[in-house]
Amino acid sequence: MEKIVESFELYGKEYRLETGELAKQATGAVLVTCGETSVLVTAVVSKQEKDYDFFPLTVDFMEKMYAVGRIPGGYLKREAKPSDKGTLTARMIDRPIRPGFPDGFKQEVHVVATTFVVDGQNPPDTICVAGASAALLVGGAPFDGPAACVRIGRDKETGEFIVNPTYAEQENSDLELTIAGTADYISMVEAGAHEISEEDMLAAMTFGQEAIAAFCEKQAAFLAKVNPEPMDYTIHVADPCVAERVGEYYDAMAAALKDPDKLSRMQKVEELKAAIKADSFTEEEQAAWGSDIAAACKALEKRAMRRMIIETGERVDGRTPEEIRPLYIRPGYLPRVHGSGLFQRGQTQVMSVCTLGMLNEWQRLDTIDPAEGKRYMHQYNFPPYCTGEVGRMGAPKRREIGHGALAERALLPVLPNEDDFPYAIRVVSEVLESNGSSSMASTCGSTLCLMDAGVPISAPVSGVAMGLIKEGDDVVVLTDIQGIEDFLGDMDFKVCGTPNGITALQMDNKAKGLSVEILARALKQAHEGRAFILDAMLEQIPAPREEMRETAPRIETIKIPVDKIRDVIGSGGKVVRGIQEETGVSIDIQEDGTIHVGATDGNAMEAAKAIILGIVKEPEVGEEFDGEVVGIKDFGAFVKLTPSKDGLLHISRVAQGRVGKVEDVLNIGDVVKVKVIEVDPKTGKISLDRLDKPEAPKTEGGEKRERKGDEGKGERRPGMGSRTPRRSHRG
């Protein structure tokens, strides 16, 4: 294939799609560019069909540090496991692509997005979805595209929407909406916002759908130039008798599903599926149709659950569509930790724990993203025991990283800024039980633990997961979905926010007929659900605690002149390390002269602050000091006033009367009481006067201070000097 290029401009930015030159052995490969950010997206479809009861799609996003002109950190100096941002980008590509393949397509598909260039202005993530769509269609894969993804920002000043904002434009935006789909439907939504209204969010989503359609049109023009040849593939079709035999058990399946207890219900359903397999199929048929029988049983379960809701308005646990499961809320559940909160909704239970630390404990990021790090970290853990299963535990999976990022995004807008609350904040949500909506439980639990820790959040945040059952024109929106309604339903729509507005959204959609009207209905129902949950939370803890736990560090801020920073740090950090070792505090020094001192002991805090202030203090005329003599010259003594400032006590001011040598009055290490009498405005040199002046030692003819080495030489007569005067002889 010859090189084919489609260049176009949309919403003020330049884009380019090209194929035919790179990675020609892949099923399809497209280099997609925005500005100077370029990503190669390849798609490979395997030749063999797999005997799976799911679609085997794998998506990898490869962050290459050379794309931003950097060498990876660490010892290996090569890219290793993906960063959290890389994992989230891979998920963002996967979610809108997966629904575009037909049911029954079981050939493995692998999509790889490799960053070639990232210009520091245009993010690479959203264009990867268009690249994946184009690569699949260039290769002739059975993909229902074109599909595209856009990020929608909103200018804080003008209120205008921005399509695919640059990093700089995003800084001035109160909305970050990432939306993906085709020209006809929305398949994925991710959003973070500064408490915007449901109406404004809907307007942004509607605008985003229009932008997606525009990008799909440009992609179609590119594909028309390529004119790809459709791939030969087979859609697996099960023998009709499989569904027919399994369908005879509809009433038994509907009865098995009516159980509010998750594990009990799952056991009944699995027992029924085993009975269907054993009673309706021979061993030979089971061997030949194994995956088809499993798929038919799953389809029966799905049909029974959905029909129950559509026809009766009753869910498997007996709730109405708008009803929320019973709540159990306990802030301050754990002792000693800085903050904790237990949040339980039905059979989903999450313990969130907050830890406060110095700002220098922030998370540093080694990625292609311009962000160097973050002070607020939210982590979500989903161990096997929370679903009653046995499994291996290790690095967090994509789902865990995604749910943690959602809760983090939901709470970021309400956190105090660094000036008002100079702490690094880490929240860990441990899922102890799970039956759906665990990410929303972690959001609610995190609000509880932050308030319990005394973090002055501007408003409390709650979250709820919405579902959808759509059969033809019949539509039911579900509040607070549980696991089965997520797996067998048409939508998982998570909404987080405060009483003032939305802070985060996440949606995955399987229903191709999802309209703006349905989304508006879901957002309204979610608002009511969030309010109900938040009222229950505020009954237990109405506001952030006024005092932090005794175990939490107290951090106080000192501002010093920038030219004094080196004095506090000292050569090789010697001074600041000495302060920390002496007092036991933690010290974080910023480039602008801001110093954060953290300690759990008030006396240690005050001691460290006194030392720092003493180092940077500039003595003023009239101030008095008890200073140590640190140097002696012929003309006077140098007295240490502060750790970084000495003053000169002239020889004429060390005693009352004339002094022959400074050493006759002062020695190194002596502590004297002095007063500042002059500070040279040009040089900063300080002149001192001694306040406790002794009488000056007498010279010849008077008493003199006994010198070292005179001991044992006998007493001298009064009035005698150290030598016997010569007598005068006359001739």
- Judge whether 486 is annotated as a binding position: yes
Structure tokens given for 624: 């008095």
Dihedral of the alpha carbons of 671, 677, 681, 685, in degrees to the nearest 10: -30
What count of residues does the chain have? 731
b/e per residue, 178-210, with b = 16+ CB within 10 A? bbbbbbebbbbbbbbbbbbebebbbbbbebbbe
DSSP codes joined into one string, 184-199: S-EEEEEEEEEEE-HH
Quick one: how far is CA 126 from the chain centroid? 19
- Judge whether 492 is annotated as a binding position: yes
As a whole number of angstroms, the distance between CA 317 and CA 258 comes to 6
> Which residue, 555, 362, 329, is CA-closest to 452?
329
DSSP 406: H
Taking a C-beta distance cutoff of 8 angstroms, is the pair 350, 427 a contact?
no
Where are the strands (E) in 250-404, listed by range?
327-331, 339-345, 348-357, 363-364, 373-374, 376-381
Structure tokens given for 708: 């070292």
Taking a C-beta distance cutoff of 8 angstroms, is the pair 348, 330 a contact?
no
Taking a C-beta distance cutoff of 8 angstroms, is the pair 597, 586 a contact?
yes
DSSP 695: B
Residue whose token pair is 């229950």: 536
> Which residue, 697, 703, 693, 690, is CA-closest to 655?
693
Beta-sheet pairing, 148-155 with 173-181: antiparallel
Give Cα separations from 459 to 195, 342, 416, 422 (angstroms).
10, 19, 10, 19
DSSP 27: S
List residues forming the annotated binding site for Mg(2+): 486, 492
List residues forming the annotated binding site: 486, 492
